[in-house]
């Protein structure tokens, strides 16, 4: 049994809640003090939002590393220069000592930039405190972690906290097309840069977007500079814009950035295409209604028939979204396979039933508790031209169970293994 889980169980809930905030704040200060506030000697870029954070971090690392040594910390990996380790912590934004140590190591390795994926839960636990952020990026905001934060407004205010703390000489990079853009603009006294479908406004200049094409790739002209990316979908168009806006704010030549963007052919577990025999498999991390709908909408354009495998995390995480995710899957997919996904201490069968309760139309639905078996079933159903969409886990390395237990998990490797069996 996980030791931390055991200790938490022994502390009375009221006592734990009372001590939680000062405990996290003290840890943040001690961690920064122990590693001598390394962020003060780096250019630190924080990326927050509901969707796209990891992809923006990966794009930014590539863009910045084209000119200067760069470090990045995301839900996928920890990278300092060319050295990298997978993030196997099942935690997008690690604890305070880990993060400060990472920044300290980045500084010692000679990095100029550090890009950090910043989550609402990390902010709630003060993991961002005593890190001096020079730039903050907002990708988009949609309902998520509502039960953990106590509603959408507290969730939004957690994201805004990163912008409230930007220094005046810092830069806030904001998605102009997001409904919450004005809230983020009003939250900071720092300089502001905006990106959206019309273009990028930064440093008193406007870079207009023309000839946008969204198909199997993303291409557009940005003030006569052609931008071409192998990434797929409108959401990746916005992710690319976010990275380019940061680069422009840092005075990086646009030509150099477009070269770097073209090299990012895919992000592990984010709209990752795996070819089958006559059909396609897509593995994606989508785990909210908005992200699920975005993935299905893009793939529906490419394939007339979608076969979907999905679950929902337990542990009291956003129970409200389960029926809605079932409804969205049935709306876009011709076959729906509901399965297990990080149940924590909840009954996975009940989670699947809650998802199924949102399916009102006559879409074939299969409930298979064993996730490996569910994926196998979906692959067996696929015919030529179909697309099998497996969402929720992406490139995560663990499946989370009761009392903090976890088992190794690699969805992409599992898919490739099953495809070999089918293809003979």
pLDDT, residue 281, reads 96
CA distance 237 to 208: 14
pLDDT, residue 4, reads 45
pLDDT, residue 17, reads 60
Residue of 112, 117, 132, 136 lying closest to 252 (CA atoms) = 112
pLDDT, residue 275, reads 87
Instruction: Give, for 306, the enclosing helix (H) or strand (E).
Output: strand 306-310
Same structural domain, 111 and 135: yes
End-to-end Cα separation, the chain, in angstroms: 41
Q: What is the pTM of this model?
A: 0.90
> Taking CA 161 as the corner, what is the angle to CA 160 and CA 164, rounded to the nearest 5 degrees?
90
Same structural domain, 231 and 345: no
As for how many domains the chain has, the answer is 2
HSE-up of residue 122 (Cα within 13 Å, Cβ side): 27
Same structural domain, 210 and 75: yes
Could you list the beta-strand ranges (E) of 176-230.
Answer: 191-195, 199-202, 205-214, 218-222, 225-229
Q: What sign for the dihedral angle of Cα 126, 128, 129, 135?
A: negative
Instruction: Give, for 284, the enclosing helix (H) or strand (E).
Output: strand 280-284
Residue 198 class from Cβ within 10 Å (0-12 exposed, 13-18 middle, 19+ buried)?
middle
Among the candidates 263, 284, 318, a domain finishes at 263
What is the domain range of residue 218?
3-263
Same structural domain, 230 and 284: no
Contacts 24+ apart (CB under 8 A), 74-79: 74/115, 74/117, 75/117, 76/267, 76/268, 76/269, 76/395, 78/102
Same structural domain, 233 and 354: no
- Which residues of the chain are under the pLDDT cut of 50? 1-5
> Taking CA 321 as the corner, what is the angle to CA 288 and CA 397, rounded to the nearest 5 degrees?
45
């Amino acid at each position: 049994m996980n030791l931390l889980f055991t200790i938490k169980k022994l502390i009375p809930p009221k006592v734990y809640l009372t001590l939680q905030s000062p405990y996290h704040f003290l840890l943040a200060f001690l961690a920064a003090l122990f590693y001598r506030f390394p962020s003060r000697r780096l250019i630190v870029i924080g990326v927050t939002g509901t969707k796209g954070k990891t992809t923006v971090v990966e794009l930014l690392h590539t863009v910045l590393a084209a000119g200067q040594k760069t470090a990045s910390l995301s839900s996928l990996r920890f990278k300092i220069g060319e050295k990298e380790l997978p993030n196997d912590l099942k935690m997008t934004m690690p604890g305070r000592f880990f993060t400060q140590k990472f920044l300290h190591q980045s500084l010692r390795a000679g990095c100029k930039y550090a890009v950090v994926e910043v989550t609402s839960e990390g902010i709630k636990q003060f993991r961002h405190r005593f890190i001096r952020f020079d730039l903050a990026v907002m990708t988009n905001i949609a309902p998520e972690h509502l039960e953990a934060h106590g509603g959408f407004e507290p969730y939004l205010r957690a994201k805004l906290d990163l912008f409230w703390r930007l220094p005046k000489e810092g830069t806030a990079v904001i998605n102009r097309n997001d409904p919450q853009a004005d809230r983020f603009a009003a939250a900071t006294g720092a300089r502001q840069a905006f990106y959206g479908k019309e273009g990028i406004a930064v440093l008193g200049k406007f870079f207009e977007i023309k000839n946008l094409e969204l198909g199997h790739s993303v291409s557009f002209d940005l003030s006569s500079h052609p931008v071409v990316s192998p990434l797929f979908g409108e959401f990746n168009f916005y992710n690319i814009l976010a990275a380019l806006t940061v680069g422009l704010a840092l005075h990086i030549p646009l030509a150099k950035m477009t070269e770097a963007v073209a090299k990012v052919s895919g992000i592990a577990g984010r709209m990752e295409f795996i070819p089958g025999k006559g059909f396609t498999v897509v593995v994606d991390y989508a785990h909210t209604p908005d992200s699920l709908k975005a993935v299905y909408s893009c793939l529906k354009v490419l394939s007339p028939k979608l076969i979907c495998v999905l679950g929902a995390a337990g542990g009291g995480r956003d129970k409200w979204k389960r029926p809605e995710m079932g409804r969205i899957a049935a709306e876009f997919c011709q076959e729906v396979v509901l399965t297990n996904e990080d149940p924590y201490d909840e009954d996975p069968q009940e989670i699947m039933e809650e998802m199924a309760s949102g399916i009102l139309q006559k879409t074939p639905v299969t409930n298979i508790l064993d996730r490996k078996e569910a994926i196998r079933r979906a692959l067996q159903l696929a015919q030529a031209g179909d697309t099998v969409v497996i969402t929720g886990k992406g490139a995560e390395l663990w499946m989370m169970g009761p009392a903090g237990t976890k088992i190794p998990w690699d969805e992409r490797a599992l898919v490739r293994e099953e495809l070999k069996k089918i293809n003979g």
